[in-house]
């Protein structure tokens, strides 16, 4: 069963590689993002996508969050997290290719922990992308509680999870 507005956002530990502005090509050691401790007392936008570098994610979804990051911050957002069923190295490379820098945490959910905990997993084995992926969603998490949640009816498109919908909900 999928999480819903009013629920406590599940505690999982995701991994990401911090961006290093002094050496943008560096591949640092992965860090832990704990959704309980790191979301506590903060307003967080969690953008779930099926796969890094995929056409919809790379053309329609993530770039708008990068472009409108400052607008999200002006609306009181403390942290933006983009998470996919890819590993943290792939997410780091995707973030670099999209010029995310330190603005958005690019976290990997390669084991499907977030997908299972939220009920927002997607089986894409039929199309060769594996059986543990996230569906396309966006959640506004305010001090650990789901304040807003949109799930794409068709994860191959971006109709309700785009940044403009999030800005309107803030």
Q: How far apart are CA 32 and CA 136, in angstroms?
A: 22
pLDDT band (50, 70, 90) for residue 138 = very high
Cβ burial 6-43 (10 Å sphere, 16+ → b, else e): ebebbebebbbbebeeeeeeeeeebeebebeebbeeeb
What pLDDT score was predicted for residue 49?
92
- State pTM to two decimals: 0.92
Tens digit of pLDDT for each residue in 8-31?
999 999 999 998 888 777 778 899
Which residue is catalytic, options 33, 44, 57, 134? 57
Q: Is 27 a catalytic residue?
A: no
Between the two ends of the chain, the Cα-to-Cα distance in Å is 25
């Amino acid at each position: 069963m999928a999480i819903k507005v009013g629920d406590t956002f599940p505690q999982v530990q995701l991994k990401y590689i911090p961006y290093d502005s002094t050496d943008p090509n560096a591949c640092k050691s992965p860090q832990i993002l704990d959704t309980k401790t790191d979301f506590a007392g903060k307003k967080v936008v969690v953008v779930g996508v099926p796969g890094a570098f995929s056409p919809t994610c790379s053309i329609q979804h993530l770039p708008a969050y990068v472009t409108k990051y400052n607008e999200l911050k002006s609306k009181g957002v403390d942290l933006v997290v983009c998470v996919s069923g890819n590993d943290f190295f792939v997410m780091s490379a995707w973030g670099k290719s999209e010029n995310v820098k330190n603005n958005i945490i690019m976290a990997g959910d390669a084991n499907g922990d977030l997908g299972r905990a939220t009920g927002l997993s997607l089986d894409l084995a039929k199309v060769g992308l594996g059986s543990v992926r996230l569906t396309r969603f966006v959640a506004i998490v305010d001090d650990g509680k789901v304040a807003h949640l949109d799930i794409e009816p068709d994860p191959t498109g971006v109709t309700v999870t785009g940044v403009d919908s999030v800005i309107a909900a803030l």
